[in-house]
Structure 1
Amino acid sequence: MRHQQFEFLVRLSINLSAFHNARFEFAESRKALELGLTLVADDDKANRAKLLHNLGTVYQVEGDFSTAQAHFEEAEGLFTQIDAPGDALSVRSAKGQLLYHQGNYRKALLVLETLDGKLSAHLQVTNLLTLIVCYQLLGAHAKAAVIASQLIERQAGVDLLNRAMAYMYWGESLAEIDGLAAAVEAFDCAESLFREADALSNVHEVCVRRAHARLKFGDLQGATTDAQRALESQDVYVIARANLALGEAALGERRLADAKARAAKAFTVARRNVNESAHFDVLMLLGKVREAQHDYGKASQHYQRANRLVLHLQRDLTIDFRPGFLEGAQGAMHGLIRVALHQDDAPQALKTLEQMKSLVVAQYLGEKQALRLDPEIADADGEISKLTAAYQKARDHYWRLVNEETQPSASDTHHQEKHEVEQRLSDLVAKIRLLNSEHRPELDIPELDSIDLNVPLATGVVEYYSDGEAVYAFTLASQRAITVKRLDATYRDVANSMKSLRRSIERALALDANGAAEYYLDKTQAALRALNDTLFMPIQDFLSNYPLINIVPFGALHSVPFHLLYDGSHYAIEKQQIVIQPALAIMGRPRTQSYTRSAVALGYSGGADVYRMEHEAQAIAALMGGTAHIDDEATSQRLANARAQILHIAAHGHHHFDQPRLAHLHLADGLMYVDDLWRFNLNYELVTLSACSVGLGNPSGGDELIGLGHAFLYAGADALVSSLWEVDDETAEKFNGDFYSRLKQG
Structure 2
Amino acid sequence: MERACREGALEALLEEARTLTSRDAGEALQCAEFACQVAERLGDPRMRSAATRARGQALRALSQHAAAVDALEAAAQLAAEAGDARLAAESRIGIVDSLGWLERFTEAFALAERLERELLDLGAPAEAAKVLVNAGNIHHRQDEYARALDCITRALDCLQKADDPYAVAKVQANRANILTHMNRVQEAMELYEEARAAFEERGDALSSAIVDLNVGFLRYISGEHSASLAVFARARKTFDRLGRKVEAAKVDGDMGDVYRALNLLPEALECYDRAIDTFREIPLEYETARAEIGRAVVLAGFGKTDEATAALSRADAVFAAQRNRLQRAHVALIRAHVLRTAGKLGPASRAAASAARELKRAGLHGWAAEALYIQAEIDLSQNRDAVATMEAVIEAAREHLRSSLESRAHHALGRYHHRAGRIEEAIREFRAGVACLEQARTLVTIEEFHVAFLRDKLAVYEDLVAALLGRGLRNDVIEALDCVERSKSRLLLERVQSAHDARLRAGAVADPDLVERLANLRAELCRHYHGMHVFDGAEQLQRRLGITVGDAGRLRELENEYRNALREAELSIAGDRQRTSTLGDVVPIEDLQAALADDEALVEYASFFGQVCAFVVTRRDVQVRLNIAQIEEVDYSARRLRYHLQRVEGQSGYVARHQEELHTAIRGVLGDLYRLLLAPIESLFPSDKLVVVPHGVVHGLPLHAAMDGDAYALDRWEIIYSPGAAVWYQGVEPSQPSGLAARDGLITDPALLVSVQTPGIELVSEEVARLAAVFPNAVVLKDENATLEAFHRHAPNSRIIHLATHALFRADNPLFSGLSFADGWLLAHDLYDVSLSCELATLSACRTGVALVEPGDELFGLIRGFLSAGARSLAVSMWPAADAATVAVMVRFYEYLAAGMSRGSALRQAQIAARTEFPHPYHWAAFSIVGAR
How does the TM-score come out when normalised to structure 1?
0.88
Among candidates 812, 815, 818, match of residue 661 of structure 1: 815
Deviates more, 1:458-467 or 1:432-441: 432-441
2-structure distance, mates of 1:612, 1:153:
58
Say which is worse superposed, 526-535 or 615-624, in terms of deviation.
615-624
Distance 1:507 1:157 in 2: 61
1:245 aligns with 2:374: yes
Structural mapping, 1:576-655, within 5 Å: 576-589=717-730, 590=733, 591-593=736-738, 595-596=740-741, 597-598=747-748, 600-605=751-756, 611-625=762-776, 626-636=778-788, 637-638=790-791, 640-641=794-795, 644-655=798-809
Aligned to 2:662: 520
Question: Could you say if the C-alpha distance between residues 580 and 365 of structure 1 is closer, same or farther in structure 2, counting changes exceeding 3 Å?
Answer: closer
SS in 2 for 1:231: helix
Q: Please show how residues 251-266 of structure 1 align to structure 2 within 5 Å.
A: 251-252=380-381, 255-258=382-385, 260=387, 263-266=390-393
The one-letter code sitting in structure 1 at the alignment partner of 2:463 is: G
Match of residue 455 from structure 1: 596
Instruction: Give the alignment partner of residue 485 of structure 2, picking from 348, 351, 354.
Output: 354
Are the aligned partners of 1:684 and 1:717 in contact in 2 as well (CA < 8 Å)?
A: yes
How far does the alpha carbon of each residue in 1:486-540 deviate from its partner, in whole angstroms, 9 at most, with x for none? Answer: 2343111101110111112123212314156255323222211111110011112
Distance 2:202 2:666 in 1: 75
1:164 Cα offset (Å): 3.6
Q: How many residues align structurally?
A: 730
Q: Which residue in 1 is equivalent to 2:684? A: 542
Instruction: Give the SS at the match of 1:603.
Output: strand
1:677 Cα deviation (Å)?
A: 2.4
CA RMSD of the aligned region, Å?
3.3
For residues 375-421 of structure 1, what are the alpha-carbon distances to aligned partners after superposition, in whole Å with 9 as ceiling and x for unaligned?
9xx45xx6355433322222112112212224577999932322222
Measure how far apart 1:259 and its partner are.
5.1
Amino acid aligned to 1:310: L
* Counterpart for residue 399 of structure 1: 526
Tell me, yes or no, if the aligned pair for 1:475 and 1:483 is still in contact at 8 Å: yes
The equivalent residue for 2:613 is 472
Secondary structure of residue in 1 paired with 2:255: helix
Whether the 8 Å CA contact 1:37–1:51 is kept in 2: the answer is: no
Deviation string 1:310-355 (CA, Å, 9 cap, x unpaired) is: 2233345232233966443322211221111011132221122123
Q: 1:668 to 1:385 in 2, by over 3 A?
A: farther
Match of 1:29 among 133, 144, 151: 151
Separation of aligned partners in 1, 2:689 and 2:185: 57
SS of aligned partner of 1:256: coil
Q: Give 5+ residue unaligned stretches, structure 2.
A: 1-83, 91-123, 361-365, 543-547, 742-746, 902-933
1:503 aligns with 2:632: no
Of 708-717 and 154-163, the range deviating more from structure 2? 154-163
User: For 1:40 and 1:212, how far apart are their aligned partners in 2?
Assistant: 49
Counterpart position of 1:699: 853
What residue number does 1:11 align with?
Answer: 130
**What per-residue deviation string (whole Å, max 9, x for no partner) do you get for residues 280-329 of structure 1?**
11011011111111211111111111111222333452322339664433
Give the aligned residue type for 2:608.
Answer: D
Q: Which one-letter code corresponds to 1:191 in the other structure?
A: S
Q: Counterparts of 1:708-727 in structure 2 under 5 Å?
A: 708-727=862-881
Which of 203, 223, 231 is residue 103 of structure 1 equivalent to? Answer: 223
- Whether 1:302 and 2:429 are equivalent positions in the alignment is yes
CA spacing shift, 1:628–1:232, aligned 2, 3 Å = same
Over residues 189-246 of structure 1, what are the superposed CA-to-partner deviations in whole Å (9 max), with x where a residue is unaligned?
A: 2333432452665455445445445655xx43x2432332232221245554344334
Alpha-carbon displacement from aligned partner over 1:24-51 (angstroms, at most 9, x marks no partner):
42452232221231243437x4x44443
For the 8 Å contact 2:849–2:878, the answer to whether it is kept is yes
Distance 1:587 1:301, change over 3 A: same
- Tell me the SS of whatever aligns to 1:722: strand
The answer to whether the 8 Å contact 1:33/1:55 transfers is no
Would the alpha carbon gap of residues 670 and 175 (structure 1) be closer, same or farther in structure 2, given more than 3 Å must change?
A: farther
Contact 2:145 2:178 in 1 (8 A): no
Task: Indicate the residue corresponding to 1:69 in structure 2.
Answer: 189
**1:143 has 2:285 as partner:** no
Which has the larger Rg? 2
Residues 1:168 and 2:293 aligned together? yes
Cα deviation 1:44-67 (Å, max 9, x = unaligned): x4x444433323323333444344
Secondary structure at 1:614 match in 2 = helix
Between 1:433-442 and 1:508-517, the stretch displaced more is 433-442
* Equivalent residues in 2 for 1:324-339, closer than 5 Å: 326-339=454-467
CA distance in 1 between partners of 2:427 and 2:693 (Å): 25
Write the letter of the residue equivalent to 1:9: A
1:517-568 CA distances to partner (integer Å, 9 max, x unpaired)? 255323222211111110011112224x411111111012111111111123
Aligned counterpart, 1:428: 565
C-alpha change, 1:272 and 1:575, in structure 2 (3 Å) is: closer
Whole-Å Cα distance in 2 between the matches of residues 593 and 33 of structure 1?
A: 68
Q: Secondary structure at the match of 1:32?
A: helix
Q: What is the alpha-carbon distance in structure 1 between the residues aligned to residue 247 and residue 837 of structure 2? A: 49
Would the aligned equivalents of 1:601 and 1:621 in 2 still touch at CA under 8 Å? no
Give the Cα–Cα distance (whole angstroms) in 2 for the partners of residues 91 and 242 of structure 1: 29
Change in 2 beyond 3 A, CA 1:602/1:202: farther
Deviates more, 1:113-122 or 1:599-608: 599-608
For normalisation by structure 2, the TM-score amounts to: 0.72
Cα distance in 2 between the residues matched to 1:452 and 1:157: 66
CA distance in structure 1 between the aligned counterparts of 2:497 and 2:618, rounded to whole angstroms: 29
SS in 1 for 2:707: coil
1:278-297 counterparts in 2 under 5 A? 278-297=405-424
Give SS of 1:456's match. Answer: coil
Does the CA contact (< 8 Å) of 1:655 and 1:694 recur in 2?
A: yes
Residue pair 1:601, 1:647 contacting (<8 A) in 2 also:
yes
Distance in 2, Cα, partners of 1:270 & 1:566: 52
Contact 1:603 1:634 in 2 (8 A): yes
Equivalent position SS for 1:661: helix
Q: How far apart are the structure 2 equivalents of 1:609 and 1:698?
A: 25
Bigger mean CA deviation after superposition, 435-444 or 356-365: 435-444
Aligned partners of 1:352 and 1:705: how far apart in 2? 18
Report the Cα distance in structure 2 between the residues aligned to 1:136 and 1:54, rounded to whole angstroms.
Answer: 26
Instruction: Determine helix, strand or coil for the equivalent of 2:259.
Output: helix
C-alpha separation in 2, matches of 1:215 and 1:71: 39
Q: 1:733 to 1:139 in 2, by over 3 A?
A: same
- For residue 554 of structure 1, the aligned residue among 670, 680, 695 is 695
Residue among 348, 359, 362 paired with 1:226? 348
User: After superposition, what is the alpha-carbon deviation per residue over 1:11-34, rounded to whole angstroms, capped at 9, x for unaligned?
Assistant: 332244346655442452232221
Give 2:407's aligned amino acid: F
Q: Which letter maps to 1:343?
A: R
Separation in 1 of the partners of 2:335 and 2:228?
26
Alignment of 1:93-242 (within 5 A): 93-119=213-239, 120-154=244-278, 156-157=281-282, 159-176=284-301, 179-180=302-303, 182=304, 184-198=306-320, 201-202=326-327, 204-209=329-334, 211-212=336-337, 215=340, 219-220=342-343, 222-233=344-355, 234-236=358-360, 239-242=368-371
Provide the residue aligned with 1:319 in structure 2. Answer: 447
Percent identity of paired positions between Structure 1 and Structure 2: 20
Structure 1 residue aligned with 2:891: 737
- Contact 1:10 1:36 survives alignment (8 Å): yes
User: For structure 1, which segment, 203-212 or 47-56, has the greater mean C-alpha deviation from structure 2 after superposition?
Assistant: 203-212
